[in-house]
Amino acid sequence: MSMFDLSGKTAIVTGGNRGLGRGIAEGLCEAGAFVCIAASSDSVFDAEEEMKKKGYKCCAVKCDLFNDAEIGSAFGKALNMLGGKIDILVNNAGIQRRNKCEDFLVKDFEDVINVNLKAVFILCRLAGREMLKNGGGKIINLASMLSFFGGFTVPAYAAAKGGVAQLTKALSNEWASKGINVNAIAPGYMATEMNTKLIEDKNRNTEILSRIPMGRWGTPDDMKGIAVFLASSASDYLSGAVIPVDGGYLGR
């Protein structure tokens, strides 16, 4: 349907080289968008080539989200490769650190906050400025089930993802009237590298699956539809929302 068509639109997807970000990037490409994937390792260029071989219109930039100046530089490079215009920003990249709260290192806490929250704000601000000049756009942040819950052994991640949910609402309050829709996706338990330890923990895996009505972990492909919806005109009257994509987990 035309309302989901992204032909002629440009997008930046952080962490688009693998996992959920790769699924989102491919979904946007399949809907017609020209997508720039950004990641911290050289594998982003391998992912770019793989996507191009599939026929997708894609480019790539390397970006260290720990470095504020590099974020700005990488954004500028991406914007230039996209022809000087950004219609869609997807803040997907993130890191994880696990430890008991009483033993959690301050350095680990700072690292997670810097990548999972501070960098998200910086990129939203950079993209927002461009979108305000262009008359609008779509910003999609990646929240989490831990935007709603506290979790175990992940205090920094829970704090950051709670912050992403609130940042999404704050940006929406100021920018929705100016044509910028800011929403967040809250993935449920997804079978990605970040969750390898949970998947390999037989007890936790059984416990998690028992609460998911669909009876399975999510996959990167499960992110495509919601990402295209939020990036397209189909979601023009939706802003400030945090949407679970969790196989029914929250409803249990």
Side by side, the strands of the sheet bearing 58-62 are 58-62, 34-39, 10-14, 88-91, 137-142, 180-187, 242-245
In the chain, count H helices and then E strands: 9, 7
Q: Map tokens 């968008």 to a residue.
A: 33
User: What residues does each domain of the chain span?
Assistant: 2-251
Contact 10, 34 (CB under 8 A): yes
The span from the CA of 105 to the CA of 175, in Å, is 36
Q: What is the pLDDT of residues 3-15, one digit of tens each?
A: 999 999 999 999 9
**Residues 67-94: b if buried by 16+ CB within 10 A, e if exposed:** eeeebeebbebbbebbeeebbbbbbbbb
Write down the pLDDT at residue 135. Answer: 97
The span from the CA of 66 to the CA of 122, in Å, is 11
**Token couple for 22:** 């790769």
The two beta strands, 180-187 and 137-142, are parallel
The two beta strands, 10-14 and 88-91, are parallel
The span from the CA of 138 to the CA of 240, in Å, is 11
Contact 14, 90 (CB under 8 A): yes
Query: Would you say domain 2-251 falls under CATH 3.30.200.210?
Result: no
pTM above 0.85, yes or no: yes
* Active site positions, annotated: 157
Angle at 134 between CA 72 and CA 116, to 5 degrees: 35
Beta strands, E only, 148-232: 180-187
**Token couple for 157:** 């991640």
Centre a 10 Å sphere on the Cβ of residue 95 and count the other Cβ atoms it contains. Answer: 18
The span from the CA of 26 to the CA of 33, in Å, is 9
Q: What is the pLDDT of residues 174-222, one digit of tens each?
A: 999 999 999 999 999 999 888 888 889 999 899 999 999 999 999 999 9
The span from the CA of 74 to the CA of 173, in Å, is 27
Per-residue pLDDT in tens (0 to 9) along the chain, 252 residues: 699 999 999 999 999 999 999 999 999 999 999 999 999 999 999 999 999 999 999 999 999 999 999 999 999 999 999 999 999 999 999 999 999 999 999 999 999 999 999 999 999 999 999 999 999 999 999 999 999 999 999 999 999 999 999 999 999 999 999 999 999 999 999 998 888 888 899 998 999 999 999 999 999 999 999 999 999 999 999 999 999 999 999 998
The span from the CA of 92 to the CA of 18, in Å, is 10
